[in-house]
Amino acid sequence: MTSTMADPMTNTDRIEKKVVLRAPLSRVWDAIADSKKFGEWFGVKLEQPFTAGRSLKAKMTKKGYEHFEFDMEIERIEPQRYFSYRWHPYAIDPKQDYSSEPLTLVEFVLEEVKDGTALTITESGFDRLPASRRAEAFRMNDGGWTGQAKQIAAYVEK
């Protein structure tokens, strides 16, 4: 895996992670678009397949976070190229109702390259979040996507 990352100091609305995965595009696509495989590397349990226009619940499977659930609204699926969903970023306080907050958009873009598959993960829309939690959500998700880029690399490169 090789990676590049956008500088969070120059952009507060958008996180972008680019990695080249040493795996065929079809394997990377399956890891992203198949909800069961997505759950294996992302660390969540999903009960339904990904379908554009459908919402589904995700339950965290990482030790210490098993109590945490979140909603994903599947936005668009273009086989072998593009997958996107919307969610409430870093919505981890069980006492807070996030339902009236705007959602951010998470996008996965795949491209076949010489060494395997280039994957760009982008999350945008942070500037629309309430000011009281915007910076923390951005910071936590920026680190989270760095970790998830490593997780998908380990998953598809084995």
pLDDT digits (tens, 9 = 90+) for 39-82: 999 999 999 999 999 999 999 998 888 888 999 999 999 999 99
130 inside domain: no
Residue 125 covered by a domain: no
pTM of the predicted protein model:
0.93
What would the two tokens of residue 132 be? 């009281």
Confidence of residue 11 (pLDDT cuts 50, 70, 90): confident
Q: Does a structural domain hold residue 54?
A: yes
Q: Residue 60 falls within a domain, yes or no?
A: yes
Q: Which residues pair with 73 in a beta bridge?
A: 55, 86
Domain count, the chain: 1
Q: If pLDDT is split at 50, 70 and 90, which confidence band does 3 have?
A: very low
CA dihedral 56, 61, 62, 66 (to 10 degrees): 90
In a domain, 71, yes or no: yes
SS3 assignment, position 20: strand
Instruction: Indicate which CATH number applies to the domain containing 151.
Output: 3.30.530.20
- Whole-number average pLDDT of the chain: 93
Q: How wide is the angle at C-alpha 87 spanned by C-alphas 6 and 82, nearest 5°? A: 60
Domain membership of residue 79 (yes or no) is yes
Model confidence at 10, pLDDT cuts 50, 70, 90, reads low
Residue-number span of the structural domain to which 52 is assigned: 17-116+136-156
Q: What is the secondary structure of 33-63 as a DSSP string?
A: HSHHHHHHHHTEEESS---TT-EEEEEE-ST
Task: Tell me what pLDDT residue 65 has.
Answer: 82
